[in-house]
Structure 1
């Protein structure tokens, strides 16, 4: 069985899990979804994902439960039952083991915790060629300028990284992303970013991951993370056409190539790289790849 077939089979199992996460899931069900035997389905799932199917399912359920407790006024027992735990006690034990805090305390204080981030398996396999279909689709780019208020940035720095893949070699990037995704006060979704020189600490990377929070943020800053203030600024947002998830690297390359040749002066702006980080949002095919760069209005 070649890698492509394995990826397709595991992707089918991931899709089934996502669609049925609040229902009982058995290995037999996953086997039917993948089209292979139960034993082989479990084997290739762990080979590619790094976890058994049921460890993976449990981690997703606990993460979704944490988000529900963070964002909604719900009873713990109801959340436990929603995510297929047999009892309040069993859920509390599993939650406490996963996040280092019991669900009752978490629902009241909502400190940053390490959420489990589950990605389509295709995101781990690089696109080797730029197919004609995606190149044709990426001829259209949506551009807009938005205002960012004064705010703070919670970020996890790397060591020497200049891009996402180097960053993941520097640190446990999935762990960092999970913690950033758990911050209740976040103004926007977490982002990967290229820091301007004035925001880089000596001996740390130019690429980092972070999330913006209000200027008056006073909750816990996760251990190993930094928090800095950002001034009000304008951000030029570039958004490409939707694409198939397995083509995410190609979609990124194509949009970044277009940004390099883009002249903001046509619309009365200039790059303002020192005002804020240049950032990229998590690449999801349904919305197209999104990247933002700080700009200033050209004074006349």
Structure 2
């Protein structure tokens, strides 16, 4: 079987699961979507995702259910039935096995948990094979929207690496998918999770410059997951750069474009100067529909 066709077949199954998560899903249905026998469809799915179709569906349903329990007042039994669990007891057993605590206790305290956040197999495969697009292959630099925002005093829940200076090195040092899934579960988050380049005074000895974290209020008092750390950040001014929307497979080239724009940007035109030690520089998760977004600390020159 052609490797590319296999990845595309698995992604078709993933997309079918996403679209039918609140309905009964059978292996035969997934096999029909993939275009292979049930046995073969199940085999290529597990090889690509690391989970059987049944385990994948159950983990995804439990994660979606956890987010509803975190953010709404829905009854546990109603959430369970909505995600095709046939009893409160069965849902509680599955939830406890997945997250290490029963749904009632989770709903009461909403500690950070490891969510299941699968990537689309074909998207990942395509991006890795393509390796991004060089700047010479792209059009001239697109528009980059720039704005200045104020960040209040806050804390950041983060996971340090060993010596990483960028995202790819960080991924070699920690399980970044697990880190991101935990950060995404934080109910008290002020903003979405980000990748950060820490200023020198926040880098501890034998730890990385690049980390992943989520900003939370100063009074955050919920559980700190094992291996994570909570540090305080001073108020700061950030200059945010946002590129145009792009095709997801072109994310590496789009990041390069925004970086080149920043390298050539003169903040003094707007009455600011770079202030790299004032706060972490950060990047939001690249998502094509909104363009690549990165922020760098500045201070007023007035």
TM-score in terms of structure 2 length = 0.93
Higher mean alpha-carbon deviation, 41-50 vs 283-292, is at 41-50
The equivalent of 1:120 in structure 2 is 120
C-alpha contact 1:65 1:83 (8 A) present in aligned 2: yes
2:106 matched to 1:103? no
CA distance in 2, matches of 1:277, 1:180: 17
C-alpha distance after superposition, 1:2-34 (max 9, x if no partner): 333233222222222212211111222222333
**For residue 235 of structure 1, what is the aligned residue in structure 2?**
238
> 5 Å matches for 1:14-163?
14-121=14-121, 122-123=123-124, 125-126=127-128, 127-130=130-133, 135-136=138-139, 139-163=142-166
| CA contact 1:137–1:241 (8 Å) conserved in 2 | no
Match of 2:7 in 1: 7
State the distance in 1 between where 2:180 and 2:27 align.
29
Aligned to 2:266: 263
The number of aligned residues is 299
Contact 1:243 1:251 in 2 (8 A): yes
1:174 paired residue among 169, 173, 177: 177
* Farther-moved stretch of structure 1 (36-45 vs 159-168): 36-45
Uncovered stretches (5+) of structure 2, i.e. residues with no partner:
none
* Contact 1:186 1:212 (C-alpha < 8 Å) held by counterparts: yes
* Distance in structure 2 (CA, Å) of the matches to 1:148 and 1:44: 46
Long gaps (5+) in structure 1:
none
Separation in structure 1 between the aligned mates of residue 178 and residue 14 of structure 2, nearest angstrom: 20
Distance 1:162 1:285, change over 3 A: same
Moved more, 145-154 or 126-135: 126-135
Give TM-score scaled by structure 1 length.
0.93
Distance (whole Å) between structure 2 residues aligned to residue 72 and residue 35 of structure 1 = 39
Post-superposition Cα deviations, 1:247-272, rounded to whole Å, max 9, x if no partner, equal 22222222223222222222221111
RMSD of Structure 2 on Structure 1 (CA): 1.9
Deviations 1:147-184 (A, max 9, x none): 11111111000111111121121111111111111111
Corresponding residue SS for 1:227: strand
**Once the two structures are superposed, what CA deviation does each residue of 1:227-255 show, in whole Å capped at 9, x if it has no partner?**
11111111111112222222222222222
2:255 alignment partner in structure 1: 252
Verify the 8 A CA contact 2:30 2:41 in the aligned structure 1: yes
Structure 1 window deviating more from structure 2 (64-73 vs 277-286): it is 277-286
Whole-Å separation in 2 of the counterparts to 1:31 and 1:242: 34
* CA separation of 1:137 and 1:44: change in aligned 2, threshold 3 A: farther
CA positional deviation for 1:72: 0.5
> Following superposition of structure 1 onto structure 2, how do residues 267-286 of structure 1 map, counting pairs within 5 Å?
267-286=270-289
Using the TM superposition, give the Cα deviation of residue 296 of structure 1 relative to its aligned residue in structure 2, in angstroms.
1.2
Provide the rounded CA distance (Å) in 2 between the counterparts of 1:50 and 1:62: 17
Contact 2:149 2:238 survives alignment (8 Å): yes
- Give the Cα–Cα distance (whole angstroms) in 2 for the partners of residues 137 and 186 of structure 1: 37
Q: In structure 1, what is the Cα distance between the partners aligned to 2:280 and 2:20? A: 38
Q: Report which stretch shifted further, 33-42 or 283-292.
A: 33-42
Runs of at least 4 residues of structure 1 off by over 3 A?
131-134
SS in 2 for 1:136: coil
**Equivalent residues of 1:46, 1:53 under 8 A apart:** yes
Q: Which residue is 2:196 aligned to?
A: 193
- CA contact under 8 A between 2:65 and 2:80: conserved in structure 1? yes
